[in-house]
Structure 1
Amino acid sequence: MATISIGKAWEEAVAFVAREAALLFPVALLFVALPGLILQEMTPPQLAEWMIDPKRTGLPDIPPGFALASLLGVVLIWFGSLTLFALALRPGISVGEALRLGLARLPVLLGTALLAMFLLAALVLASIVVAVLLGLIAPPLGNAAGALLGILVGGVALFASIRLMLLNPAVIDGNQGVIQSLRHAWALTRGCAWRLLGFIMLLTIVSAIASMAAQTIFGAIAGLVGGPGAAQLVGGIAAAAVSTVIQVYMLVMLSRIYRQASAG
């Protein structure tokens, strides 16, 4: 069972970021913040509204190139996160070496994502089949089973995401393949899943509040000068910058937690 200390990880992360900020933040801005901001600006307004309230209307028309651009953006962000983990886990490594290592290990991370999505899709399909079969027997039973199975699938997905929270550092720090990396990351979080869940929930709340505040304040100032268009752009940039800073600290903390779990 892994023994981890969130407080110790935070102290080490603060010291490391203060010492290596000149390496970490340019990589984070270029490979994490910028792709996310571009995708945000590319998202059609109808799709953004649907993502906020998917029950209001059906899925809107999506431009042909948007799905491909989204996929490329996600891959670029994953590459950036691997590079940041390389910088955090291997003190003294240069940015060029970290970029090459991140690129070399990116196929393994993509493979784990594809395998996880395949397993989740299989679970969803099995749940749909069970709900449909029960609905043929008794419609109320099928509806109830569908709701319960939906909650079950969501719970399984959340639990798996927490148990695999150390997957990225495990991938970048080793030379294992897809299955071995998944097993290693799963084993590292044995006994500390609830603490990791609390950690990630706290950071998510802090990031959301800070990003919203930055977007509101800087967007309002820009709106007074340049109108609604400037408000949206400047507000988005401010929110992305704040979110990136928090993400850097989170990734460095995860690298420290990974070291603690590996030692345990």
Structure 2
Amino acid sequence: MKFDLDTAWKEAAGLLSRNLGLLAIIAGVFFFLPYAGIAIGLPEMGDLEAAQASGNVDAMMAVVTDLYVGYWWVFLILGLVQGIGLLAMLALVRRRANPTVGEALSTGARSVPSYIGAQLLQTGLIVIVATLFVGIGAVTGLQPLAALGGVIAFVVVCYIVVKLSLAAPIIAIEGELNPVKALTRSWALTRGSSMRLLVFYLLLIVAFVVLSAVVSLVLGLVFAFAGEQAAMLGEAVTSGLINAVMIVAMVCVLAAVHTQLSRFANGRAESTED
């Protein structure tokens, strides 16, 4: 059996409609408020937005570097908080025991070290692969080979991200706390469905980027009429809102994909036993 995009989308929409209230509360507390708070509270965020608007990549990277060096502890706390929120929402929408919000949050807090471990392992693998392919092209000194290495690295990284995309649902829903086993199971579950998953994720990303751009533009214009301070506050609120909505949608999509591919895996196992 192959992964079905339409079925996954319908299941994701169903999860969203059934759990919208609780998901909105968790997303608001763990994603909207922290993200908007950082956007408002850190003055350097304004410098980053100015650098992004200028289109100067070097200036933008310099601001990003200074931001993370100066406030690494803030982003560490933010990562922990958002990791707990993400895992709690996944547990809430798909745990068979129908957990309460408190139980889902407890699952998120208990599982977040495993999630962070899986993310670090995935990031390490991506860095190694990207460095290998880009480095080989760069060592030759030939521009075409360097460009080809970059393209190959991008394709391979996309493949790895898709193959390991179910690590969070496996940790939160199945209760697998070993990050290596979570990544291994994600790789196994996505076997034979990688290309369909890539297309599914890309379609959702494109749709969300377009929608968020329209929302940002409209709300940005509305707040701009109220003055400079209101515009800055409005941009922070809008960014936090878009971030929270994206996470809620991602949770429902990942839970639906995990459910469908787990069903296929269980069916293959039963067929083998028979």
TM range (shorter): 0.7 to 0.9
Deviations 1:140-178, CA, capped at 9 Å, x for gaps: x2x333222222222211111111121110111232412
Counterpart of 2:202? 201
Q: Is the 8 A contact 1:25 1:248 kept in 2?
A: yes
Query: 1:117 pairs with 120, 123, 145, which one?
Result: 123
Query: 1:60 pairs with 40, 59, 62, which one?
Result: 62
Query: What is the CA distance between 1:230 and its match in structure 2?
Result: 0.7
The alignment yields a C-alpha RMSD, in angstroms, of 2.5
Worse-superposed segment, 102-111 or 199-208: 199-208
Worse-superposed segment, 59-68 or 45-54: 45-54
Counterpart of 2:108? 102
TM-score (norm 1): 0.84
Letter in 1 for 2:114: V
Q: Is the 8 A contact 1:83 1:99 kept in 2?
A: yes
Query: Where do 1:1-264 residues align within 5 Å?
Result: 3-41=2-40, 42=42, 43-50=44-51, 53=55, 55-57=57-59, 59-60=61-62, 62-63=66-67, 64-90=69-95, 92-127=98-133, 129-131=135-137, 133-135=139-141, 141=142, 143-172=143-172, 173-225=174-226, 227-264=227-264
Deviations 1:192-251, CA, capped at 9 Å, x for gaps: 2222222222222222222222222223222223x0221232243234324533432331
Q: Is the 8 A contact 1:214 1:239 kept in 2?
A: no
**Distance (whole Å) between structure 2 residues aligned to residue 54 and residue 118 of structure 1:** 28
Task: Name the CA shift for 1:236/1:211 in 2 (closer, same or farther; >3 Å).
Answer: farther
Q: Is the 8 A contact 2:133 2:152 kept in 1?
A: no
**Distance (whole Å) between structure 1 residues aligned to residue 51 and residue 234 of structure 2:** 23
Q: Is the 8 A contact 2:126 2:160 kept in 1?
A: no
**Distance (whole Å) between structure 1 residues aligned to residue 95 and residue 193 of structure 2:** 24
**Distance (whole Å) between structure 2 residues aligned to residue 49 and residue 193 of structure 1:** 38
Deviations 1:11-49, CA, capped at 9 Å, x for gaps: 333333323222111101111222333344435344345
**Distance (whole Å) between structure 2 residues aligned to residue 7 and residue 51 of structure 1:** 36
Q: Is the 8 A contact 2:129 2:153 kept in 1?
A: yes
Identity %: 25
Letter in 2 for 1:229: Q
Task: Name the CA shift for 1:28/1:65 in 2 (closer, same or farther; >3 Å).
Answer: same
Deviations 1:51-93, CA, capped at 9 Å, x for gaps: 5745454842514432332233233222211111001111521
Worse-superposed segment, 173-182 or 41-50: 41-50
Letter in 2 for 1:36: Y
Q: Is the 8 A contact 2:122 2:164 kept in 1?
A: no
Indicate the SS of the match to 2:169: helix
**Distance (whole Å) between structure 1 residues aligned to residue 38 and residue 202 of structure 2:** 24
TM-score (norm 2): 0.81
Q: Is the 8 A contact 1:50 1:60 kept in 2?
A: no
Q: Is the 8 A contact 2:84 2:112 kept in 1?
A: yes
Task: Name the CA shift for 1:199/1:240 in 2 (closer, same or farther; >3 Å).
Answer: farther
Q: Is the 8 A contact 2:86 2:247 kept in 1?
A: no
Letter in 1 for 2:91: A
**Distance (whole Å) between structure 1 residues aligned to residue 77 and residue 180 of structure 2:** 24
Gaps of 5+ in 2: 265-274
